[in-house]
Structure 1
Amino acid sequence: VANIEKALAKVPGVISANVNLASEKATVEYLRGEASMADFRRAVEGAGYSIRAEVGAEGIAEPDVVMAATRREIRTLKTKLIFAGSIGLFMLLIAVSEFSGGWSWLPPFFSNHYLLWALATPVQFWAGWQFYQGTWGALKHKTANMFTLIAVGTSAAYFYSVAAILFPGFFAAGGREANVYFDTAAIIIALILLGRFLEARAKGQTSEAIKKLIGMQAKTARVVRQGQELDIPIEEVVVGDIIIVRPGEKVPVDGIVKEGRSSIDESMITGESMPVEKGAGDEVIGATINKTGSFRFETTKVGKDTALAQIIKLVEEAQGSKAPIQRLADIISAYFVPAVIVVATMTFILWYFWGPAPALTFALLNFVAVLIIACPCALGLATPTAIMVGTGKGAENGVLIRSGEALETAHKIGAIILDKTGTLTQGRPVVTDVVAAPGFKEVELLMVAASAERGSEHPLGEAIVNSAKEKNLPLVDATEFNAIPGHGIEARINGQKVLLGNLKLMQDRGLSLDGLEEKATRLSNEGKTPMFLNIDGRAAGIIAVADTLKPNSKEAVRELHRLGLEVVMLTGDNQRTAEAIAKQVGIDRALAEVLP
């Protein structure tokens, strides 16, 4: 980390450079025109590393580019791991056979040290070549890193073994046995490669969280240019474009409605459990889903400026951020490696001059042991890997973590803020109450309402249809179906004219409610959405729908209170619904109608 940061910082025009070892990303702040990507590439390669993918300042990292590079790395590491591991285990098997009383159960050919030398060489200089590259890059900057420990340690074991094969007389003259330790070098390289393979695979899985967020975006947009409707890639949309959105489609980018009305599912952005009615002058957010009507809107934000892009950027910055303890670990690592090399050298000297015979063998083995055991892989990787995997897993589950520092200071939390939709509640509306007016039955109301809503794409209508199906009620086909955006629906069922919708729809049609207003108010106060049903001009009853609580929500809030935390609910839903849900689960405070 320190080597790359120093190399990048030396590039003329660079203000600051921050490198995250776990996510393998470098963030460089520089003066435009005074430095270029080519300069950064030369600096990184000069430090003994390579750039897999370049991401400019104009937008979000392209997930396919990053994932492709990660997959290539995983394939390469897997190949080298299998190769080094197989040869290392084979050599270990030979060593065990030798120490257990000879080579009796292995063919004599395998006792040939030249064979072991031939097998160990590609492991040392092909599978382990990356360690030499890292060491050379560090030496050019007059420093050392954890690759230095691995390269020096395994090279010592390898070249000692080569010397034992080529000059056995030298060892015999000193009263020492010419043992070889090719297996030690191969096993160490295989174990280090195993760790790097598991690390790379974890990073690949974490990157999927970012890819899922980016996958929420629409791929194309229907724009109006020179009086014609054109389907164009989302990347070609510009601010000021007029875009048409039809029912069931995603809103491509952020903008303001110019014409038409519809209801839009904004739950993935705001947490609003019910679709939000939109009309002229209202803002729409990219990646949200249009449920009912068609509308036209003017683009106000595209690319990296959209709300979803900002959320993705937040997750990426959190994964690449450094916690205070990680910055401390980076500083320690810079001094730790040279100190270990000094200690290992002293160990060799002590064992060589004052150790038991064969002194050289014991001195070398202990020298290698100190270098390998002290390898600061955990010191350099533990914190950034935890931050990267934690923030990625959080994003996958809808939890955005601002930074690594936020994770580190989490133990000081005194209050916790919970989202409502999908966190405390199920995240989907269901029928909770059916209130029948005099002369009507509840089953009849549900059957008529579900039959009318079969042609609707609105989540409230889907909830009514699902409730009727769960009760195995017979449904009939509706005729003269008409969706009234922002109000409800009308249809004809078995010759009867059916109207289902909100209070405003009934008032606009001048229909009597026969005293159902009071019951509707009570249901609203409980956080439910009441819909009035009118059949042939008569008030038939009310069907209430709500996003119900998860079974474990109350217990979770009680546990948080037991830990001494204040619990606050934050939601894009309306104040009445928020207060009702908060009361049900025992939450201290509810903040409603807020945006991300």
Structure 2
Amino acid sequence: MNAHIEIPPETPKMIHFPIEGMTCASCVGRVEKALSAVTGVVSASVNLATERAEVSVSNPSVWPELIRAVEATGYSVPGKTIELAVEGMTCASCVGRVERALQSVHGVTSATVNLASEQATVEGTAEVSALLAALAKTGYTARDVARDIAEDEAKTARKDAEQALLKRDLVLAAAFALPVFVLEMGSHIIPGMHSLIGSTIGHEASWLLQFALTSFVLAVPGLRFYTKGMPALLRGAPDMNSLVAVGTLAAYLFSVVATFVPGVLPEGTVNVYYEAAAVIVTLILLGRYLEARAKGRTSEAIKRLVGLQAKTARVRRDGSIVEIPVAEVTPGDIVEARPGDRLPVDGEVVEGESYVDESMITGEPVPVAKTAGSEVVGGTVNQHGALAFRATAVGGDTMLSQIIRMVEAAQGAKLPIQALVDRVTMWFVPAVMTLAALTFGVWLIWGPDPALTFGLVNAVAVLIIACPCAMGLATPTSIMVGTGRGAEMGVLFRKGEALQLLKETRVVALDKTGTLTEGKPALTDFVLADGFDRVEVLAHMAAVEARSEHPIARAIVEAAEAERLERLPVENFASVTGYGVEATVGGSRIHIGADRFMRKLGLDTAFFYRLAERLGDEGKTPLYTAIDGKLATIIAVADPIKASTPEAIGALHDLGLKVAMITGDNARTAKAIARRLGIDEVVSEVLPDGKVHAVKRLKAMGRLAYVGDGINDAPALAEADVGLAIGTGTDVAIEAADVVLMSGSLKGIPNAIALSHSTIRNIRQNLFWAFAYNTALIPVAAGVLYPVFGVLLSPVFAAGAMALSSVFVLGNALRLKRFIAPMMGETSPSHPPSASVAAPAE
């Protein structure tokens, strides 16, 4: 019998890379289409605002094909510099092997290795993971040393150079276009100007001067439109540059014919439109320049985060303190921080005491006390004391680097609302060119004399006014600014689409321990059954619970340690999921857990029923201990509710949301907590695997956001429409979440939801403006108002309106930088009792 073995599909890998040369939404559509056509590509998403592509591939080896696909559409993938710290090299032959291994990777243009510094510098477009894999095959280990400050600085420098070039071209275009505008339009606007020109330089000389000046404008500052737009048109994939190129060339060439061979034109049509071509180029350059400045401001959040990375570190080496580049710090190094220093890497304090300003991570303004054993984060600022700490994470592994990657990933995401824009813009430019040709034909056939002139002017106006820049920028710029503002508040969107889903949330479900509460319960009550000794029972319980990682277990162990009880040896320890723990201590079999565990063991808890009822009403968690099959004690544990919890739940209610709590506590205890906090729905006595079913059930009430912090919350975080992880929780929970609340405070929940509302509202405003602008003005440019009102739209005004549309969208998105969260700063002093409210632990 032949067995069928099913091989699981390979997990898709995400590749991110920059793309240069895109100018509008149609560019985005073409690049996405080209990337999606590459064999092995699962999905491709391109962001105009960040100028980056995110491609999911089944095989990373398709990387060269991706670059070729981008270049085939007329755009480019810029190279980058990667610094690798290589371990294991001992001689010059090692250097040669490492260089050859790196140069064999697709996308590497050059690789140089320094044996003394044990570093490799790689130029090109290769992925870091591919470089590390190539070195691993040759027997060397390496790591990416700096999330690459050099790469970030190079990107910033490239943007600055692009902006400076735009500014130069704008000044040149304006200087040469102004005389053309005055000579031509002045004759129509200023009385006597036409006669003055005729009696001085003459109209023929005026046209020749306009020809020379306009030729310079088109050939020098305006050359970018033709070198990019015409090849795109010839490939059958016209973009915004194509619209500008065709429109301005049509006006310019018609004017050249009218200037040098007027006899070939029909009578009454000999006019020049040099000013239209020159001024259109100038106005579009103005729009591009303003757009570049505004786009630079949308990414300020990332720039600020990158700016928080220290450049050097003071490290203990060979008995002395040396100052070295932060890229050279290695895990295990002892780093010293003086008062006022920005910490260079993540670490654990080994000496000293101080307060550290962690507002860049958490959004909380109050400095945090640090002593020996405390964790510190790179990028935070040491306040008054001196600290020495052991480096635990460096380079791209630091929390700051991870935050930057999270923010960049969210900024590059596409929301579901973007799907409509993508569908429209794919066909928009070809449709506009068809409409422009149709406009020209209609005016030529049915228009009044001079029909050729009317047809040309209106066709050019349609081409110029219909640029889809505003459409392409409407969504990504708002996402960039919104997610950047969130990072400043300590709210990290790991997935950009969470912005839209949070806005649609109707129910917020909260885990209890570590989320609503501090997660540090304490033993409050200890009542014995007849015939048992307190010290003996507590010692046995502590011995068993020392093997458990549950917060309640820690409370019992700490109570025993406080009484300095002897730690007894434990055998046969086992955790009974959802019920409790069991083990053998000194020959006795111990069971510790909830009342359901005792019932499962066949023990009657009626003796403690009234006491358990009272403890539950007080918001405490009652637990039982059985020794050798006999009920020995009932204990109670309470976990203080976080100071921010009552205010945060109130803020969620103010946003019109229902609040639910999911807990493993018994129903009586859970309801007591819910009453104190004003929680609407309670799901109690839930086993860990039952949280997913609880989330599914609550989703029937509307789109649901789940907030948790533990490993057992990961499945529920993934099941929810939006998962929010408390940043002080476990890595597993954070990885499963869509949003991370870095401060550990529930204030981040209403802040994140309010930011989501503002960002989606901002996107809708942008999309309305972008679509309404094109819908309204394309018919006007085509001349539909002329038969009734005698109104035509000059190509010059069309260019101005087009430039302003993009600037308006960007300016509107930048308003999100001023977003004020509903719960900024510390918990309001109007809620002082909240910190002392006792809550049970799960």
* TM-score bracket for the superposition, by shorter chain length: 0.5 to 0.7
Shift of 1:299: 2.1
Correspondence 1:358 to 2:450:
yes
Q: 1:3 aligns to what?
A: 30
Distance 1:582 1:128, change over 3 A: same
Q: Which amino acid aligns with 2:827?
A: I
Alignment of 1:159-558 (within 5 A): 159-171=253-265, 174-271=266-363, 274-393=366-485, 395=487, 400-402=492-494, 404-409=496-501, 411-413=503-505
How many residue pairs get aligned? The number is 450
Distance in 2 between residues matched to 1:562 and 1:328, nearest whole Å: 32
Q: Which amino acid aligns with 2:346?
A: D
Shift of 1:196: 1.0
Distance in 1 between residues matched to 2:322 and 2:837, nearest whole Å: 42
Match of 2:73 among 42, 47, 72: 47
Q: 2:236 aligns to what?
A: 142
Q: Which amino acid aligns with 2:158?
A: A
Q: Which amino acid aligns with 1:96?
A: M
Shift of 1:260: 4.8
Distance in 1 between residues matched to 2:326 and 2:405, nearest whole Å: 18
Q: 2:589 aligns to what?
A: none
Q: 1:35 aligns to what?
A: 63
Cα deviation 1:389-436 (Å, max 9, x = unaligned): 44445556766555543444554355899xxxxxxxxxxxxxxxxxxx
3-state DSSP of counterpart to 1:69: helix
Distance 1:185 1:410, change over 3 A: farther
Correspondence 1:78 to 2:105:
no
Distance in 2 between residues matched to 1:78 and 1:336, nearest whole Å: 29
Shift of 1:308: 1.2
Cα deviation 1:492-513 (Å, max 9, x = unaligned): xxxxxxxxxxxxxxxxxxxxxx
Cα deviation 1:244-265 (Å, max 9, x = unaligned): 3344433321122345554433
Tell me, yes or no, if the aligned pair for 2:365 and 2:825 is still in contact at 8 Å.
no
Distance in 2 between residues matched to 1:330 and 1:229, nearest whole Å: 56
Distance in 2 between residues matched to 1:324 and 1:109, nearest whole Å: 60
Tell me, yes or no, if the aligned pair for 2:269 and 2:452 is still in contact at 8 Å.
no
Shift of 1:119: 1.0
Tell me, yes or no, if the aligned pair for 1:60 and 1:309 is still in contact at 8 Å.
no
Correspondence 1:584 to 2:830:
yes
Distance 1:561 1:207, change over 3 A: same
Tell me, yes or no, if the aligned pair for 2:409 and 2:496 is still in contact at 8 Å.
no
Distance in 2 between residues matched to 1:339 and 1:312, nearest whole Å: 40
Tell me, yes or no, if the aligned pair for 2:363 and 2:490 is still in contact at 8 Å.
no
Shift of 1:330: 2.4
Distance in 1 between residues matched to 2:212 and 2:836, nearest whole Å: 71
Match of 2:49 among 22, 31, 43: 22
Tell me, yes or no, if the aligned pair for 2:354 and 2:371 is still in contact at 8 Å.
yes
Correspondence 1:133 to 2:227:
yes
Cα deviation 1:50-95 (Å, max 9, x = unaligned): 4556375553564322221111111111122222233333322222
Distance 1:308 1:186, change over 3 A: same
> TM (normalized to structure 2)?
0.48
How big is the alpha-carbon RMSD for the aligned residues of Structure 1 and Structure 2? Answer: 4.0
3-state DSSP of counterpart to 2:460: helix
3-state DSSP of counterpart to 1:109: coil
Cα deviation 1:249-288 (Å, max 9, x = unaligned): 3332112234555443334323555544444443222122
Deviates more, 1:53-62 or 1:94-103: 53-62
3-state DSSP of counterpart to 2:74: coil
Distance 1:189 1:400, change over 3 A: farther
Distance 1:284 1:20, change over 3 A: same
3-state DSSP of counterpart to 2:336: strand
Deviates more, 1:175-184 or 1:51-60: 51-60
Distance 1:159 1:389, change over 3 A: farther
Distance in 1 between residues matched to 2:333 and 2:417, nearest whole Å: 47
Q: 5+ unaligned residues in a row in structure 2: which ranges? A: 1-27, 82-126, 129-143, 510-643, 660-676, 678-725, 727-740, 748-823
> TM (normalized to structure 1)?
0.65
3-state DSSP of counterpart to 1:581: coil
Tell me, yes or no, if the aligned pair for 1:242 and 1:297 is still in contact at 8 Å.
yes
Q: 1:88 aligns to what?
A: 177
Distance in 1 between residues matched to 2:243 and 2:462, nearest whole Å: 9
Cα deviation 1:294-326 (Å, max 9, x = unaligned): 444332211122111122222222322222233
Tell me, yes or no, if the aligned pair for 1:255 and 1:300 is still in contact at 8 Å.
yes
Deviates more, 1:12-21 or 1:249-258: 12-21
Match of 2:214 among 117, 120, 124: 120
Q: 2:194 aligns to what?
A: 103
Distance in 2 between residues matched to 1:150 and 1:292, nearest whole Å: 59
3-state DSSP of counterpart to 1:65: helix
Distance in 2 between residues matched to 1:579 and 1:231, nearest whole Å: 36
Q: Which amino acid aligns with 1:584?
A: S
Distance in 1 between residues matched to 2:164 and 2:63, nearest whole Å: 33
Tell me, yes or no, if the aligned pair for 1:154 and 1:368 is still in contact at 8 Å.
yes
Distance in 1 between residues matched to 2:486 and 2:340, nearest whole Å: 28
Tell me, yes or no, if the aligned pair for 1:48 and 1:136 is still in contact at 8 Å.
no
3-state DSSP of counterpart to 1:229: strand
Tell me, yes or no, if the aligned pair for 2:334 and 2:391 is still in contact at 8 Å.
yes
